[in-house]
């Protein structure tokens, strides 16, 4: 792509100081960059509200889970055969946390099943650092926060969807194109090598980014909301197809839990990709909107 005729703002962070430091350390001079307005104000605001909501939802959700730290499949709870459970085994003054997945059992003492709350060893599913409030059991407060932020999360998500469709953000930046799909194998290899698009290619989301955002927005998001609603007995009376679709209320609870950890997995990959590619540039673009793009030079 040719340079535009308009002068573009310089994109390197810490102009002057960083360049002088690099010169002093005899590092290669930075490539010249220009700033590209990557994220609009609505996208940035909704992104950060979403980030806060997801963190509160996950941590209050784990507090709620601690009230009965076991998952089942079907309509009712088969207490003797949970899919997953976090329990404590031993005597009341000498116990260890144990996690069971199906018929496998692991010692997860100190993290799952039993861990310290304010220095006192407690029987609890998830540990104090993972739950809001940190003390457990505190189901009443966990529910209060979870259901309040659920409204915020859904309103924020709907606002994002409305904006994305109305502004063309979805069609332009998120909808995978045929060429994107063909490029996926190549991108898996380059991502595995921690090689990220540079220059003009960095102006657009690549196929893996589009695919993961697409899955989060259209699969994880709706599924976690619908399975959450399925756990509500009143919603099941209004929409009896909800528990039917998910194979029962306990299945819905299990899917809800899996979706929550899929969101956590997305967050971890999201952070890893940010740190491995261009952490400051990426963070700045989500705060100020501006993303620095390396100018493509003829000799490059």
Partner 1 sequence: MPDGMLRRSFLGRGAAAAATLALAGCTGIADAPWAVSLLGEVENLTRRAQRLFAGGHALAPEFAKADIAPVFRPNGTLNPGTNDYAIHMSQNFANWVIPVEGLVETPLKLTLADIRKFPARTQITRHDCVEGWSCIGQWTGAPLAHILALAKPKPEARYVVFYCADPMGAGDVDSQGNPIPAPFYYESLDLLEATHPQTILAYELNGQTLPVEHGAPIRLRAERQLGYKMAKYVQRIGLVDSFARIGGGKGGYWEDQGYQWYAGI
Long-range Cβ contact pairs of 190-193 (< 8 A, separation 24 or more): 191/273
- Using the CB atoms, write b or e for 179-206: b if 16+ within 10 Å: ebeebeeebeeebeeeeeeeeeebeebb
Assess 235 for contact with partner 1 (CB under 8 A).
Answer: yes
Q: Which of 2, 41, 238, 300 binds partner 1 (CB under 8 A)?
A: 238
132 binds partner 1 (CB under 8 A): yes
Distance CA 59, CA 63 (A): 6
DSSP letter assigned to residue 202:
G
CB of 122 to partner 1, least distance (A): 14
Is residue 154 near partner 1 by the rule CB under 8 A?
no
The CB-of-189 to partner 1 minimum distance in angstroms stands at 38
Residue 233 makes contact with partner 1 by CB under 8 A:
yes
242 vs 296: CA distance, rounded Å: 53
Alpha carbons 213 and 219: distance in angstroms, whole number: 10
CA dist 127 and 64 (Å) reads 12
Stretch near partner 1 under the rule CB under 8 A, chosen from 147-155, 187-195, 272-280, 290-298 = 147-155
- In angstroms, the first-to-last Cα distance of the chain is 14
75 binds partner 1 (CB under 8 A): yes
268 counts as binding partner 1 under rule CB under 8 A? no
76 lines the binding site for partner 1 (CB under 8 A)? yes
Minimal distance in Å, beta carbon 255 to partner 1? Answer: 14
The interface mask with partner 1, positions 170-209, x = CB under 8 A, is ----------------------------------------
Please give the Cα distance from 29 to 252 (Å, whole number): 55
CA R_g for the chain:
24
Confirm or reject binding of residue 148 to partner 1 (CB under 8 A). Answer: yes
Distance separating alpha carbons of residues 44 and 291, to the nearest angstrom:
13
- Is residue 134 close enough to count as binding partner 1 by CB under 8 A? yes
Size of the site for partner 1 (CB under 8 A): 41
Report yes or no: 35 and 9 within 8 Å, Cβ to Cβ.
yes
Q: How far is the CB of 77 from partner 1 (least distance, A)?
A: 4
141 binds partner 1 (CB under 8 A): yes
Chain residues in the site for partner 1 (CB under 8 A): 64-65, 67-68, 70, 72, 75-77, 79, 128-129, 132-135, 138-141, 143-145, 147-148, 151, 231-240, 243, 248-250, 253
């Amino acid at each position: 792509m040719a340079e535009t005729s308009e002068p573009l703002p310089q994109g390197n962070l810490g102009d002057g100081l960083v360049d002088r430091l690099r010169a002093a350390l005899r590092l290669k001079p930075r490539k010249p960059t220009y700033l590209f307005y990557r994220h609009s104000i609505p996208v940035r605001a909704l992104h950060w509200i979403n980030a806060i909501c997801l963190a509160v939802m996950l941590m209050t959700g784990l507090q709620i889970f601690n009230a009965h730290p076991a998952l089942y499949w079907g309509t009712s709870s088969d207490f003797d055969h949970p899919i997953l459970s976090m329990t404590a085994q031993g005597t009341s003054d000498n116990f260890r946390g144990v996690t069971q997945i199906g018929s496998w059992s692991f010692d997860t003492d100190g993290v799952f099943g039993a861990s310290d709350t304010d220095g006192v060893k407690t029987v609890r599913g998830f540990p104090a650092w993972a739950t809001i409030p940190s003390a457990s059991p505190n189901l009443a407060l966990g529910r209060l926060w979870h259901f309040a932020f659920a409204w915020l999360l859904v309103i924020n998500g709907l606002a994002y969807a409305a904006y994305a469709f109305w502004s063309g953000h979805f069609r332009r930046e998120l909808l995978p194109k045929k060429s994107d799909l063909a490029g996926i194998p190549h991108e898996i290899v380059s991502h595995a090598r921690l090689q990220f698009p540079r220059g003009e290619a960095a102006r657009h989301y690549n196929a893996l980014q589009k695919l993961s955002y697409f899955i989060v927005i259209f699969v994880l998001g709706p599924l976690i909301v619908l399975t959450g609603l399925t756990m509500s007995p009143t919603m099941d009376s209004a929409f009896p197809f909800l528990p039917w679709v998910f194979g029962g209320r306990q299945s819905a609870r299990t899917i809800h839990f899996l979706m929550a950890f899929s969101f956590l997995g997305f967050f971890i990959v999201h952070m890893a990709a940010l740190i491995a590619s261009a952490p400051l540039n990426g963070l700045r673009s989500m705060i100020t909107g501006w993303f620095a793009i390396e100018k493509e030079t003829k000799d490059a």
